[in-house]
């Protein structure tokens, strides 16, 4: 089973090398970096790792086009090349490669989607977030879960994996969100299609460098998108 780890980047030179090396140390896979016009040397680091390992690929885009479109581009790239499992990971080292084998264990148990949760069993596994950001994340999860009827603890998590059949089944052409709402929409569509979904506990770390991509526009998109999904708009 061929495995692809998709990592969107935009100025992640401070962390991307370490992220990719951790991934390859923990999982027999290929890595696809989707870069949105980085200017800090991110692309040079990825190219060097590509030449050295033969397991790293780069998809360059000419502008900052958003998280959702980056993952969609990665999924289509991988589907065209017969990968069977697709991972999502951040490029800022907030997601750690040591957890990747735990995802694979769940897939081997028969699950179709595995989500890395920061909030399982009432715990908060987040390192170095301020209270305001933590409160926003928790509220977003409760808000979207209640509206959409999703029985999961962390539906906004961007550390997850899908079987190929899920990406084919949800119809990627119908995915309308682009920011962090993308994670909610993908999980909702997979759930409604009847795919088997599991969560595993992870530890989420604050980014090591660069700047957060969170904005008021991204929050607004997510808030409106859940109602569009609920109403079938």
- Average pLDDT, stretch 83-90? 98
- Average pLDDT, stretch 183-202? 97
Which tens digit of pLDDT belongs to each residue from 37-61? 999 999 999 999 999 999 999 999 9
* Predicted TM-score (pTM) above 0.85: yes
Domain 3-231 classified CATH 3.30.70.260?
no
Quick check: helix, strand or coil at residue 26? helix
pLDDT of residue 212: 54
Quick check: helix, strand or coil at residue 34? strand
Taking CA atoms, 108 is separated from 43, 74, 102, in Å, by 34, 23, 10
- CA torsion, ordered 164, 37, 223, 95, to nearest 10 deg: 60
Q: Yes or no: say if 189 and 142 are a contact pair by the CB < 8 Å rule.
A: no
- CA torsion, ordered 133, 162, 7, 120, to nearest 10 deg: 30
Higher pLDDT, 127 or 79: 79
**Does 215 have pLDDT greater than 60?**
no
Which tens digit of pLDDT belongs to each residue from 118-170? 999 888 888 877 878 888 888 889 999 999 999 999 999 999 999 999 999 99
Cβ count within 10 A of residue 124: 12
Higher pLDDT, 230 or 74: 74
Task: Give Cβ neighbours of residue 160 (< 8 Å, ≥ 6 apart).
Answer: 87, 88, 103, 113, 114, 115, 116, 183, 187
pLDDT of residue 126: 87
- CA torsion, ordered 60, 68, 217, 231, to nearest 10 deg: 160
Higher pLDDT, 8 or 222: 8
pLDDT of residue 233: 63
């Amino acid at each position: 089973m061929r495995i692809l780890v998709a990592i969107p980047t935009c100025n992640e030179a401070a962390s991307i090398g370490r992220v990719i090396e951790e991934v390859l140390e923990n999982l027999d896979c290929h890595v696809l970096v989707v870069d949105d016009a980085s200017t800090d040397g991110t692309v040079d680091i990825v190219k060097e790792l590509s030449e050295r390992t033969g397991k790293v690929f780069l998809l360059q885009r000419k502008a900052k086009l958003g998280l959702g479109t980056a993952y969609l581009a990665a999924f289509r790239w991988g589907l065209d090349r017969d990968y069977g499992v697709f991972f999502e990971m951040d490029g800022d080292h907030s997601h750690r490669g040591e957890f990747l084998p735990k995802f694979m264990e769940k897939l081997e148990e028969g699950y179709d989607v595995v989500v890395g949760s920061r909030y399982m069993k009432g715990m908060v596994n987040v390192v170095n977030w301020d209270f305001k950001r933590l409160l926003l994340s928790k509220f977003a999860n409760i808000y979207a879960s209640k509206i959409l009827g999703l029985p999961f603890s962390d539906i906004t998590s961007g550390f997850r994996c899908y079987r190929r059949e899920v990406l084919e089944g949800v119809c990627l052409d119908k995915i309308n969100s682009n920011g962090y709402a993308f994670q909610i929409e993908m999980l909702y569509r997979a759930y409604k299609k009847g795919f088997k979904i599991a969560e595993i506990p992870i530890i989420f770390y604050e980014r090591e460098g660069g700047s957060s991509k969170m904005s008021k526009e991204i929050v607004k998109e997510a808030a409106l998108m859940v109602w569009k999904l609920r109403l079938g708009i």
